[in-house]
Every structure is written in structure tokens, then in C-alpha cells.
Amino acid sequence: MQADLTGWLGAIGLLLLLTQLPATAILLTRLLSAARRTAPLHPRSATPAMLGSVSVVIPTLNEAHRLQPCLNGLTRQGYELREVIVVDSHSQDDTVDLVKAVAQRDPRFRVVYDDPLPAGWVGRPWALHTGYLHSSPHSEWLLGIDADTQPQPGLIPALLQAAQAERYDLITLAPRFILKQPGEWWLQPALLMTLIYRFGAAGSPADAPERTMANGQCCLIRRSLLDSLNGYTCARQSFCDDVTLVREAARRGAKVGFLDGSSLLKVRMYEGMGETWREWGRSLDLKDASTPAQTWSDVAFLLAVQALPWLLVPAVLTILAVRPTAASPTLLALLALNLCLLLLRLGTHFGIRSAYDRPGSRFPLAFWLSPLADPLAALRILRSASRKPTQWRGRRYE
């Protein structure tokens, strides 16, 4: 009976090894690509050639509790900013009043209202599309900005300089996250790591259009490209419209970049651990921008390299402590591989510390304990991949 148990443990260990080894090789390839990544962007000053070249579009729906820092940040942008169009979906709070108050001091700001949501559209791409239709045709670029962002001085010139230097048609930025509650500090970095494991660090080259990453919280797109895409219609049904739009642009030959903008953009996405779990976790699977095969292979990949190590290492150590005779080469190899994955995870966690506004944190320990939330983060991606969203940012969908 003891021999049978040892045999079963060896077989299970071999199966796990055959699953995790190729996944680990893929992970190493993605993380090592950071050596070739584009350098982080830093604030820049505008040049005369940039005069009036950018229209900003902000989609809003009951954003009064977090919109003011975004508006303040945009007022500090220079003459490169032609206009700021706040597309409001008939908010029931003071969102519009905040914009009108800023517009009295800065005539670049104005409010437009989008029409009732058409069938087959999600609210955010519909608002962005409405802003695109209302924007000045004289602006060479459109910049989509989310209401929860805090643009820093020099943001727009930095984007324009990067686009000109590298001939980008579209740029999105990875921001610096503002977290406040201990639950956020514990969960959010683990959820962020699911993106880094799948797509590499911001600025890393994408293998193919279908592996391109994006962040629609700050998306600069050339107007001529947006015209060719018929605005945001290709992303109209997507709950990850930013990635859907960028991947479609890349498939059509546009040069796109997902760059590190942590010095240019801060964001306070969600209030608390519960909202982070519900709202961000709902779209992190990116299934609306991926094939089912890609979605589920990514889920399996995250389970293999991000979730399982935290479960397998204590399990194997317990088995070896209780039954030393089970220490087969296969089981020892499985333990060694998963210890390496944990060390790699901790090193990667140290590397993302610059993505967070940490000096003001009252809960530094929660951030450093965040890797322990990896199994929960992978479970959230699995759960999201298996169901279609029915609610998003205050709207319900059939």
C-alpha cells in the first residue's frame, strides 16, 4: 500500500511538472523581455509645433466623487491641449456642475451628453465614440482619459514626443496606482501581476497583435487612425474596449505602444477590496478581446505559475515531513521548480513597487504580503472568464 501511494504521488508530481515546466519557460521569456522594453516616460514641455494638436475626451457617469483631480490635472496642461470634452451619460450627481465650474475658468472645457445607449454598445466605448464625433477635426490626436485619473503636468507633451520619436499611432500608459485601504494593498498588486505574467512589463515588445496589452485610462490615438477604424465601433460590445481597440489597430498595421507612465499619471481606481474584486476583476480576463482558446490558455497559465506554487510548496513539504520515503526525484524536482517560481514571484513583486504611490501608505505590510493573494487573483480570472458581465460602472446589461 505504501508503494502504491508513492507511485500515485510520483504520477501526480510528473503530471504537474509536465504542466508547469512549459508554462515556466513562457513566463521567463515574458519577464526577460523587460530588458528590451521602452524606457518609462517622463514629463516634457510643449513645443510650438504641438499647438492645439490634442482633444481630450472624458466619459463620465456619476463621477463627482473622483472627477475633480482629473479636471485639475488637465487644467495644468499647456497650449498643446485644444479642448476637453466631458461626455456625460446623464449623471444624477454633481458631475456636470464640476465641469461647468472649471469651464468658467478655462474655456477649453465643455460638456456634451451622449444619446441613449444603442443596442449592442457598452457605455464606455459609446461615450468615447460620442466624444470623437464632437471633437475638433483640427486636432491631430484624441486622448481618452478616465475620470478616476490624475494627469500630471507635462503628460500630453510627453505622449506627443514619444509618438513623434517612435512613430507611434497609438499609445496607452501604465499609471501609478493610489491605494488606501489594507485590503486593496493586499489584493490589487496580485491582480496586477496576472497582467504582467501574461503580457510582460509596460514597455515590453508584444509578440503579436493578439498579445498586445493596453490601458484605456490614458489612450492617445492618431485621429486618422481613429477615422479608419470608424471611431470606437470595433470595441462597441467589449467590456475591455481599450484592449479590443488597440489589438484591432495593431492588426491593421498601426504601431501601438503600452508604456510606463507612472511619472505622468496617477489613478485611484476603486474604493476598497470589495470594489476592486468586483469591478477590476470583471474585465481582467480580457475575453472580449481574445479568442476562447487564448482566454482559457491564459487561465491555465496563471493557475500553473501564479496560483499553484503557493499551494504545492507547503503540500509537498508536508508530504515529505510525514512520509520521507515519498521523496522521489519527481517530487523533489516539483518542489524545486515551485520554490523557484515563488522566488521569481517575490522578485517581480519588488520590481512593481514603483507602480504604486507607496510613501503615503499606512499599510506597507499589506503590500509586501500581497503575493499570498495570488491563488485568489487567479481564481478571480477563472471566475470572470466563465461568465459574461451583466453590470458595469452603474449600468446593467442584458
Summarize pLDDT for 228-269 with one digit per residue, the tens.
Answer: 999 999 999 999 999 999 999 999 999 999 999 999 999 999
C-alpha cell at 206: 508584444
Closest residue by Cα to residue 358 from 195, 218, 184 = 184
Which has the minimum average pLDDT: 48-57, 185-194, 199-208, 220-229?
199-208
Summarize pLDDT for 140-154 with one digit per residue, the tens.
Answer: 999 999 999 999 999
Largest CA distance in the chain: 82
Hey, is 282 helix, strand or coil?
coil
Report the chain's mean pLDDT, rounded to a whole number: 93
Closest residue by Cα to residue 255 from 169, 313, 140 = 169
Q: Which DSSP letter does residue 235 get?
A: G
pLDDT at 8: 76
Chain-centroid distance of CA 126 in Å reads 20
Summarize pLDDT for 106-125 with one digit per residue, the tens.
Answer: 999 999 999 999 999 999 99
Residue 340 exposure: Cα atoms within 13 Å on the Cβ side: 13
> To 10 degrees, what angle do helices 329-351 and 182-199 make?
110
Chain position carrying cell 508530481? 13
pLDDT at 358: 77
Find the radius of gyration of the CA atoms of the chain.
23
Q: Characterise 336 by phi-psi region: left (phi > 0), alpha (psi -120 to 50), beta (else).
A: alpha
Kindly report the CATH number that applies to the domain delimited by 1-393.
3.90.550.10
Question: What are residue 158's phi and psi, to 5 degrees?
Answer: -65, -40
pLDDT at 283: 86
Closest residue by Cα to residue 239 from 187, 196, 285 = 285
Work out the angle at residue 150's Cα, subtended by the Cα atoms of residues 241 and 72, and round it to the nearest 5 degrees: 120
C-alpha cell at 174: 501604465
